[in-house]
Amino acid sequence: MLTQLSVEAWLIALAVAGAAVAVVSAWLMGQRRQAGRRLHPSDHAGHALAFHAYHDNLTGLPNRAYLMQALEHALAGPDVDSIAVMFIDLDGFKSINDTLGHEAGDAFLRAVARSLRSSVRDRDTVSRFGGDEFVVVVQSYNGMENLVRVCRKVLDLVSQPVNVAGQFVAVSPSIGVAVAPKDGTVAQTLIRNADAAMYAVKETGKADFRFYEEGMLEQARERLALTVELREALQQGLLDVEYQPKRNLRDGTLAGVEALARWHHPTRGDVPPSIFVAIAERSGLIHALGEYVLRCVLNQMNAWDEAGQCIDYVAINLSMHELSRPAFVDTLHRVVRSYGVAPTRIRFELTESTAMREPGETLRQLVKLRSHGFDLLIDDFGAGYWNLGHLRELPVGTIKIDQSFVRGSQSNLADREITEAIVGLAKKLNMRTIAEGVETEAQADWLRELGCDVGQGYFFARPMTAAAFSRYLDPTVAYAG
């Protein structure tokens, strides 16, 4: 119970704190009247208190509290039709912290702050909004062409490699832009819409900028809802894993099987993997999703082994985002060993939704995976970011030909020639080839004559549940080809 003395002391302390806040607020209002000049510390105690209250300790930039008040003040002025908000997110920043440490991450953020400050004018406000997010308020930009030039300048400068701890690192910024009064006349609305435009950039490849458009906010809300529901589904074990066989084209025997995550949503219906995997990558749930699928596969492999239905290997899709954790490979190896499954029976299909941001670190992780006995396959070769440089450096033994070339082979000469070239290249490099998307007997025959090793597609079998695959393994089931 508080004594009378302690109550009085508490009231005095509260009054002092209130007075300090009042001093800060009065000082800030005075600064606003000076045409948006940035706050600077001075010898005056009130000035020093205000600076620390409204600035980020790491970068020295104005913080979120300052930005919101400064933006509201600007929007109340006569030049509301020449104010733009840029919301900037640093894609790949987490990997800098994970691989080089938080001190290196802090140094990188300070470098980004300097780049942003140098890319705009003194009257513009650059703020660290939180974490690896920055917000720039551009005033009197004098037309959309000039604003676009500012966006490109910011994009170029922030994308430049930075020497951190003796190593050059870079990120790909995603920038969303909202302009007043079209996209809002309130600070919170403008920032929210710029944020929605930034997420639209992430969906289309990152390292770019986009202006807010009607409907983006609703899409952002939908993404948030899906993220929450995906997290719950992973926690409650509501995702399924289906299996699609791979057949040796030479003799029709079962080569292996690919595990495919499926989300049968109770109200939305089937959510395509292209949607929920992208959601997982953006939200950081990709690690949880990858481990979920791996454990399902390991449990199922043990069940098949106990039933006498031995599968040579199961292939699992591996997102490049999963390789961002330094301990990923060691953790994965321990999990596989704990189930009593030999690493040689697990193969990872390497998928890329974006180009590798840190090729050196990625290569190190993949070499380590290979050293533990896991085989690696390049997925969708010829249709994505994979190139001959990757093929020469990565420790892979199999190339998976993208299904678009297989499906177009009967009607498009270019697709046939690309497929033939990939098979020929693989043979030169002593690699095996898998063709996905095989849907007809003619395609299977052509691929067999071409020298392709393995086929996968609806001609052989569609993805199926574990129970259905157990029936499929019954020796009375004949090979379709």
Task: Supply 7's token pair.
Answer: 């109550």
What does each C-alpha distance from 53 to 24, 59, 401 come to in angstroms?
8, 14, 57
Phi and psi based region of residue 479 (left: phi greater than 0; alpha: psi -120 to 50; beta: remaining): beta
Query: What's the rounded Cα separation, in Å, for the pair 188 and 50?
Result: 22
pLDDT at 108: 92
pLDDT at 113: 93
pLDDT at 33: 42
pLDDT at 351: 72
CATH 3.30.70.270 location in the chain: 61-214
According to DSSP, residue 80 is labeled G
3-state SS, residue 65: helix
Residue with tokens 């321990």: 334
Beta-sheet pairing, 172-179 with 454-456:
unpaired
Element at 281 (helix H, strand E): helix 273-283
pLDDT at 18: 41
What sign does the dihedral 419-420-426-430 (CA atoms) show? positive
Whether the model clears a pTM of 0.75, i.e. scores above it, the answer is no
Residue 134 CB: number of other CB atoms within 10 A?
Answer: 28
Beta-sheet pairing, 240-248 with 133-139:
unpaired
Determine whether 197 is exposed, middle or buried from the number of CB atoms within 10 Å of its CB (0-12, 13-18, 19+): buried
Specify whether the CB–CB gap between 218 and 196 falls below 8 A: no
Q: Could you tell me how many helices (H) and strands (E) the chain has, helices first?
A: 17, 16
Query: What's the rounded Cα separation, in Å, for the pair 290 and 380?
Result: 19
pLDDT at 4: 39
β partners of residue 244: 258
Superfamily of the domain at 223-472: EAL domain (3.20.20.450)
Q: Per-10-residue mean pLDDT for the chain, 481 residues long?
A: 39 37 41 44 56 84 92 89 93 79 90 92 91 93 92 92 84 92 94 92 81 88 92 97 96 95 95 92 90 97 92 93 85 95 95 58 87 90 62 83 86 88 91 94 94 96 94 65 41
Specify whether the CB–CB gap between 74 and 89 falls below 8 A: no
Query: What's the rounded Cα separation, in Å, for the pair 203 and 226?
Result: 14
Q: What are phi and psi of 473, to 5 degrees?
A: -75, -10
CATH 3.20.20.450 location in the chain: 223-472
pLDDT at 183: 94
Tell me if the domain spanning 61-214 has CATH number 3.30.70.270.
yes
Residue 23 CB: number of other CB atoms within 10 A?
Answer: 16
Query: What's the rounded Cα separation, in Å, for the pair 288 and 261?
Result: 13
pLDDT at 21: 39
What sign does the dihedral 377-312-262-462 (CA atoms) show? positive
